[in-house]
Amino acid sequence: MGDVARHAGVSAMTVSRVLRQPELVNKDLRLKVEAAIRETGYIYNLVASSLASQRSGTIALILPTVASSIFSDSVKGVADVARTRSVQMIMAETNYSSAEEEKVIESLLRRRPDGFIIVGVSHTRATRTMLEKSGVPVVETWDSTSTPIDSLVSLSNFDAMKAMTASLAQQGFRRIAFVGTVTRDRRAQMRAKGYMAGLAEAGLHEAVIFNARDVTSMGAGAEVAAQIIAASPRPDAVICLNDVIAAGVLLALQRAGLHVPRDMAVAGFGDFDFARHLIPALTTVDIPRYEIGQRAAEILLDRVEGKQPRPYTCEVSYRITVRESTERCARSK
């Protein structure tokens, strides 16, 4: 750093500030220092810096899976904020396993990230204890709880799926099935409970639930469609855990010669990009996926930097987006 300072004709403190807080440095001076860095081939030693500052310049993002595109916009939201705040993002997946999440977090804590963003609020006791004792900020996302570890970007999967069920009931559907999963993922469980609550509130039948083997596969949706078609009495509408499964169900129904939505309506969850481009376009629950990641990263880094001294909770909203796959006018065609 001293060599860079001499080359640029500035102090070592100025070089340090350009590397760590470039937004605080005059543009011309910053460009001069950056040119000196390139010319001298200097590489900033993050390990030495972290020892001095007690900060690593990294944040950890824990996902259930990297195979599902439902989380991709949230990842981008985190990455965009991290980039503007000059920190790096480390990403890890848990495969929807609380035990795997415990191992991942224990491993990452040994590397001392400045904070964690975690999808979900259901953790093992050991995971909660590790995070609470670590002293680093934590932001949980994509779910709701009255007992967050630290901060929370809250989304009620229960309320969202209850609202979707109510929407179909209001449109006149009277035998509404649900496609969920056998995994113990809490978000999936809350969506199933929201569906059942929606049925009860509408005064409809007992729950009719089918389970897909894989929440990230259209093929799994297609497989479960065969069970739905064979059901007696056959549902006149089906709500799926997410849009990927819903797309698989919708396409399989059409291959079987059924008309969507006249013979059976289909709805999803997540409003993936492809949902509006299906034929018919898919009714779904629109979730602000990018905003979840963006707000989580902002809250976390404000906590890391001391701008938000206390745990903070914010709630994001959802919207029922009705499209052709359930519209009553389309059913009459």
Q: Are both 76 and 191 inside the same structural domain?
A: no
The answer as to whether 233 is a domain residue is yes
Q: What is the pLDDT of residue 170?
A: 95
The answer as to whether 114 is a domain residue is yes
Domain count, the chain: 3
Q: What is the pLDDT of residue 180?
A: 95
Q: Are both 246 and 276 inside the same structural domain?
A: yes
CATH number at 9 reads 1.10.260
Q: Are both 190 and 299 inside the same structural domain?
A: no
The answer as to whether 322 is a domain residue is no
Q: Are both 145 and 167 inside the same structural domain?
A: no
The answer as to whether 194 is a domain residue is yes
The answer as to whether 243 is a domain residue is yes
* CA distance linking residue 143 with residue 155, whole number of Å: 5
Q: Are both 112 and 230 inside the same structural domain?
A: no
Q: Are both 29 and 117 inside the same structural domain?
A: no
What pTM was estimated for this model as a whole?
A: 0.80
* CA distance linking residue 10 with residue 295, whole number of Å: 37
* CA distance linking residue 173 with residue 194, whole number of Å: 17
The answer as to whether 50 is a domain residue is no
Q: Are both 236 and 139 inside the same structural domain?
A: no
Q: Are both 38 and 182 inside the same structural domain?
A: no
Q: Are both 164 and 229 inside the same structural domain?
A: yes
Taking CA atoms, 241 is separated from 16, 17, 201, 271, in Å, by 49, 48, 20, 12
Sorting pLDDT into bands at 50, 70 and 90, what band is 322? very high
Q: What is the pLDDT of residue 50?
A: 52
For 210, residues 6+ apart whose C-beta sits below 8 A from its C-beta are 177, 178, 179, 180, 224, 227, 228, 238
Region class of 91: left (phi > 0), else alpha (psi between -120 and 50), else beta: beta
Q: Are both 310 and 254 inside the same structural domain?
A: no
Range of the domain at 60: 56-155+289-317
For 277, residues 6+ apart whose C-beta sits below 8 A from its C-beta are none
The answer as to whether 195 is a domain residue is yes
Whether 52 shows a pLDDT value over 70: the answer reads: no
The answer as to whether 77 is a domain residue is yes
Q: Are both 111 and 255 inside the same structural domain?
A: no
Please tell me the least confidently modeled range out of 7-11, 45-49, 146-150: 45-49
CATH number at 253 reads 3.40.50.2300
Sign (positive/negative) of CA torsion 243, 248, 251, 257? negative
Sorting pLDDT into bands at 50, 70 and 90, what band is 308? confident
Pairing verdict, β 319-321 and 284-286: antiparallel
Q: Are both 168 and 281 inside the same structural domain?
A: yes
What is the rounded average pLDDT for all residues in the chain? 91
Kindly state the tokens that stand for 243. 């849009």
Sorting pLDDT into bands at 50, 70 and 90, what band is 45? low
**CB contact at 8 A, 196 and 207:** yes
Residue 256: DSSP 8-state: T
